[in-house]
Structure 1
Amino acid sequence: MERARPIVAGVVTALVGFASSFTVVLAGLRGVGADERQAASGLLALCVAVGVVSITLGLRHRMPIAIAWSTPGAALLMGAGGSFAEAVGAFVVCGALIMAAGLVPWLGRAIAAIPGPIAAAMLAGVLLKLCLAPVHAMLDVPYLAGPVILVWALLYRFARTWAVPGALLTAVAAIALTSRPAGLDVTPVIEITVPVFTLPSIVGIAVPLFLVTMAAQNVPGMAVLSGYGFRPPLRGVLLATGAASAVGAPLGGHAVNLAAITAALAASPEAEPDPSRRWIASVTAGVSMIGLGLCSSAAAALVLLSPPVLVEAVAGLALFAALGAALSSAFTQADGREGAVVTLVVTASGITWAGVGSAFWGLAAGGLMHLLVRPAQAASLRSTLPTDSA
């Protein structure tokens, strides 16, 4: 049984990763204009991309390099709007930018130069609207949302890892009881969308998607692996995930990256006491994710049977922890707080100007505010320092 421990850990990693956020992916793809088939195809493409990259990197480096789709990136898509073909073009550009970050050192340094509070505030602004969905669901469909939230709260207290999957299963049961689905199509769907490249979609979707994927997924993902003693080559990881994102984009996938939330499930001693065998968990997770992708059509069809606010409520519950972490990172330090506040407010407003969404404008406004107040903060700091007396 001990020999099978990393295999079980890998299966659990895939199940938790899929069940906890596939509703976010479907809601995000629908937010940029995908129809039912395109959304199901996008979910399948992401599952296959995640699985292939997990297997490839795990076997090559013998490390538990868990891969996931960009959950914050999917949340960002919900308010983006526009046509799906333009969104697909932005997904391709995002994949190319991720690859460029692995090939061009200065690009990676430029991303790292973005003040941490501002990057975190942009993520928090993206997540905030979705995390309010459970409140709206309690007002709109209390008989469906009430049991979902109750199960989530109880499991969050006693078995936190299974809180979101448990809430999802409760939602599925509620949908089945109220909608009485018949003849769900479980055939995997592959729908190719020819990408259309426009400046507004590149600036409003591709750039924020790239930034949030790097800042909220790849950077913390590397930190988690490093914390458990694993240091895979970042360049190879970015090239592999960027290429997979670009290839999967015409099928509807938005972005894949290092896992951040579920990374510990495969890399920790609980997965396997022997660090040299933990790579088995990430490889198994990859195989399991491909298998789960074959159920993407049924998942998408089931979601369509439920009130949209209920789907968003489950997605919001899945992102509570991410919102808390983003807010903490944005406002823990007094230095730079003004820029973070501006970034959060503008991003959460959901405005669209010149065809560009609020995530970009939030980052731009917060960056300008940071540059504006920085000299004053530096002068204030200098005034508090002791001076030499002659």
Structure 2
Amino acid sequence: MLRDLTPQAVFIGLLAAFVGFASSFAVVLAGLRAVGATEAEAASGLMASAIAMGLCGVVVSLRTKQPVSVAWTTPGAALLAGSASVAGGFSDAVGAFLICGGLIILSGLWRPFGRAVEAIPGSLANAMLAGILLVLCLAPFRAIAFDPLLGLPILVAWIIGGRINRFLGVPAALLAFILVVVFGVEFPPDWQAGIAASLLPAPEVIVPTFSLSALFGMALPLFIVTMASQNVPGLAVLKANGYVTKTGPLLTATGIFSFLSAPFAGISSNLAAITAAMLAGEEAGPDSDKRYWGTVVCGVAYCLFGLFAGVVIAFVSLAPSILIEAVAGLALISAFGAASLNAFKVEEERPAAAVTFLAAASGMTILGISGAFWGLIAGGIILALAKRKSA
């Protein structure tokens, strides 16, 4: 296995972990606080969630030898952030987290769901992936609009590095990001004290309680959003990159780690989509059979970020979030191009693929579920009707 480890896999794994953690930890914290967590419980939840998704990614990737990327449920955290505290307090919310983890395990053991996901046409899977990636691939240009002195050096470094070697573009952009933050961002006077005070948050064990209001108001919506907005796109990303996976064991694994992290205030773990595109594509190495090491490295980095969640939060918050998104967008441009090409390759499937792409890129949400899922449904209906007409 160590012979499969490549420098590209190490770099893209570290980059994916940085992007995945830094771009969404604020949403997770806001979600935990919104449902009643104290500052100590929220820090514990962030740590537990990061460690759970890191360990899950390492275990699953080593077992399958595929780049199965695992993340926390960012849409689920956003759902929590828009929710009110449940009547029973944060212990009821933890009970809801446990129920959600149990439902994810059940979905992994229920074979009809796995067959439905495996039946997704390749054109629609690629169209959804391209739509998801489009928003983030626009981030480098939005960063330039935000502040040319901060955003332009990252783009220029990516272009120059890519001209030297196509695998040097993203490392050059990341180096430019670090330099821009160090020399171009004004740090508050007490930033060092803030980082020192954030070392190693202590885990908090919350005894869960259960109520009908938390079940229907939090657990079920969290489960639906996690499945529709994260697990389905995550499986589609793997399929779009040519990996044949068994759906059930992957979902079961994420459910188990979600269940184990819940008593420490951890939110659900699920299959990733954005970082999966980074780790399953050519940026992780030319040999697709060796890319799983990228997700292993990413998982280990997640665990380290979790252990030092307080320090990471304090440092990353010093930089504008758009700069982090810019580096991620540059890393995903080649994946976006490949997915777009494959989505519209078959002429008869282009209308359905176009609808899926536009819905996924629109950013819309209906009933708390993202446009990626609804685009997949709409594209599937259009494709089914077209095939029925031709028959």
| TM > 0.5 | yes
CA 50–309 in structure 1, closer or farther in 2 if over 3 Å, else same: closer
Report Cα offsets for 1:145-181 as digits up to 9, x if no partner: 1111122223334344454344233223212222235
Superposition pairs for residues 233-252 of structure 1, below 5 Å? 236-248=249-261, 250-252=265-267
Report Cα offsets for 1:350-372 as digits up to 9, x if no partner: 23344443233322322332233
In structure 2, list runs of 5 or more residues that go unmatched.
34-38, 87-92, 209-213
User: Is the contact between residue 32 and residue 42 of structure 2 (CA under 8 Å) also seen in structure 1?
Assistant: yes
CA 244–180 in structure 1, closer or farther in 2 if over 3 Å, else same: same
Superposition pairs for residues 15-26 of structure 1, below 5 Å? 15-26=11-22
User: Is the contact between residue 347 and residue 358 of structure 1 (CA under 8 Å) also seen in structure 2?
Assistant: yes
CA 150–88 in structure 1, closer or farther in 2 if over 3 Å, else same: farther
Report Cα offsets for 1:195-226 as digits up to 9, x if no partner: 86266554445312120121114x468x55x8
2:89 maps to: none
Say whether 1:255 aligns with 2:280. no
Superposition deviation, residue 143 in structure 1: 0.3
CA 40–371 in structure 1, closer or farther in 2 if over 3 Å, else same: farther
How far, CA to CA, are the matches of 1:79 and 1:131 in structure 2? 24
Report Cα offsets for 1:48-77 as digits up to 9, x if no partner: 235434665688x6x755553349x75998
1:48 maps to: 51
Superposition pairs for residues 176-325 of structure 1, below 5 Å? 176-177=182-183, 178-180=185-187, 182-183=191-192, 184-185=195-196, 187-189=199-201, 197=218, 201-217=222-238, 219=239, 223=242, 236-248=249-261, 250-252=265-267, 254-256=269-271, 261-262=278-279, 287=300, 290-325=303-338
1:118 maps to: 124
**Secondary structure in 2 matching 1:251:** coil
Q: Which moved more, 1:77-86 or 1:131-140?
A: 77-86
Q: TM-score when scaled to structure 2?
A: 0.70
How far, CA to CA, are the matches of 1:203 and 1:101 in structure 2? 11
In structure 1, list runs of 5 or more residues that go unmatched.
227-231, 272-277, 380-390
How far, CA to CA, are the matches of 2:15 and 2:95 in structure 1? 27
Superposition deviation, residue 346 in structure 1: 2.3
1:144 corresponds, among 139, 150, 154, to: 150
**Secondary structure in 1 matching 2:365:** coil
**Secondary structure in 1 matching 2:319:** coil
CA 52–83 in structure 1, closer or farther in 2 if over 3 Å, else same: same
Output the amino acid matched with 1:323. F
**Secondary structure in 1 matching 2:347:** coil
Report Cα offsets for 1:108-134 as digits up to 9, x if no partner: 111112222223222322222221111
How big is the alpha-carbon RMSD for the aligned residues of Structure 1 and Structure 2? Answer: 4.6
How many matched pairs? Answer: 357
Q: Which moved more, 1:47-56 or 1:334-343?
A: 47-56
Superposition deviation, residue 260 in structure 1: 6.6
User: Is the contact between residue 6 and residue 285 of structure 2 (CA under 8 Å) also seen in structure 1?
Assistant: yes
CA 101–43 in structure 1, closer or farther in 2 if over 3 Å, else same: same
2:90 maps to: none
Q: TM-score when scaled to structure 1?
A: 0.70
How far, CA to CA, are the matches of 2:249 and 2:221 in structure 1? 30
Amino-acid identity (%): 32
How far, CA to CA, are the matches of 1:134 and 1:268 in structure 2? 28
Q: Which moved more, 1:150-159 or 1:205-214?
A: 150-159
